[in-house]
A and B are shown apart, each in its own frame.
Chain A
Amino acid sequence: MSTTRPIATTRSATGIPTGKLAVWWVIVSEIVIFGGLLASYVMHRIGHPEWAEYASHTNTWFGGANTFVLLTSSLFAVLAHHAAEHGDGKKAAKWLLGTCAGGLTFLCIKAVEWTGEIQHGYTITANGFWHFYYTAAGLHALHVIAGCIIMLIIARQAWKGEELHRVELIGIYWHFVDIVWIFLFPLLYIAK
């Protein structure tokens, strides 16, 4: 199964391992997806002065807490990579579980935050700002969920000492998800 693969996969004409190269291309395609969405948001935000009032109803503390959680989970991910690089699969798996816990905490905080906002009537259909707010954060949350699922699979493999290079790959993806949030945070919460 995962231990056998075509000879093609083991070649590396560029000097970058195949899996890592592919992850970079995944990130290339993700940059333009989020880039298109956020560029659309920014031009609407600047073109609609009335959105300043709508945006003032977001809660910076929720956003800040979530930034903290994601930054910390990123630290765990890079420590998992560090452990994997030294061949310590069990330690890497533990750090990955920590990262995953960070992702879940992030989602829980989001759930609480959104529940409060929806109860106050700020639903996705309320107005343009909330359209973008829920769509952008929702798309990002989908990436968090996907990352958590993949991370659990990789943690299981790493625990058995298999496919340790994958720890780095999921880490790169996770850091990208973190960076997207780093930009969503000022766009949705701070610039009011």
Chain B
Amino acid sequence: MAEHQDHADDHGQSYYVKIWAVLLVLLILSILGPIVAPHIAFGFLEAWMITLMAAFGIALVKAYLVAANFMHLNVEKKYISYLLVAMLMLMLLFFAGTAPDVMEHKGQNWENVAAQAEVERALAADGEAAHGDHGGAHDDPAH
């Protein structure tokens, strides 16, 4: 703390309030994103792309703003940031090693019959339900 006094001083209260205001604007954008997405989609830019960008792009920016300004990673020793990023990389590694087996339901010489059957069953049930009570279209990020 003491060694960061000089940095902290130019971060007055109004500075934190400004960051908070930016975060709120981003929050509103991320909520509006999926609502306006079908209307502004054009060409190759499809609605689900806009939804995903609004959702996760903005989440990343928000997380960065909070980490850098509220957690004071911007004035903390650099290796703390590296450490935290390294943990995120580990999770990416975990995802990369696991997804080929868990996310996919078939691959080279193998097939997850039970999972495939469940997807089919659920999609069929879902289709029936969609014809029934609410005929809303669902943007499916997987396709």
Contacts and interface: CB of A to CB of B under 8 A. Distances in A.
Nearest to A37: B91
Contacts of B122: 48, 50, 127
B140 A186 contact: no
- Main DSSP-derived SS at the A contact region: helix
A172 interface: yes
A13 interface: no
A78 interface: yes
Contact of A179 (B16, B63, B94, B143): B63
Contacts of B113: none
A56 B90 contact: no
Contacts of A14: 77
Contacts of B67: 175, 179
B126 A50 contact: yes
Contact of A190 (B54, B95, B142): B54
Contact of A79 (B16, B33, B51, B76): B16
Contact of B8 (A28, A85, A179): A85
Interface stretch (A68-76, A101-109, A152-160): A68-76
A50 B71 CA distance: 38
Interface residues of A, number: 56
A56 B77 contact: no
23 contacts: A24-B83, A36-B94, A38-B91, A39-B98, A40-B102, A45-B142, A49-B140, A50-B126, A52-B139, A68-B27, A71-B62, A74-B20, A74-B70, A75-B70, A78-B69, A82-B8, A175-B70, A175-B71, A182-B63, A186-B56, A190-B31, A190-B34, A190-B55
Given A50-B123, A191-B51, A179 B66 contact: yes
Nearest to B86: A28
A37 B58 CA distance: 21
Contact of B52 (A16, A32, A168, A191): A191
Given A46-B142, A168-B1, A191-B55, 11 more contacts: A17-B1, A48-B122, A49-B123, A49-B140, A53-B130, A85-B5, A182-B62, A187-B55, A190-B33, A190-B51, A192-B139
Interface string A58-97: 0010001001100110110111001001000000000000
A47 interface: yes
B80 interface: yes
Contact of A171 (B70, B84, B141): B70
Given A74-B66, A182-B66, A47 B87 contact: no
Interface string A155-188: 0000000000100100110011011001101110
A35 B84 contact: no
Contact of B102 (A43, A72, A75): A43
A168 B71 CA distance: 9
Contact of A47 (B72, B83, B105): B105
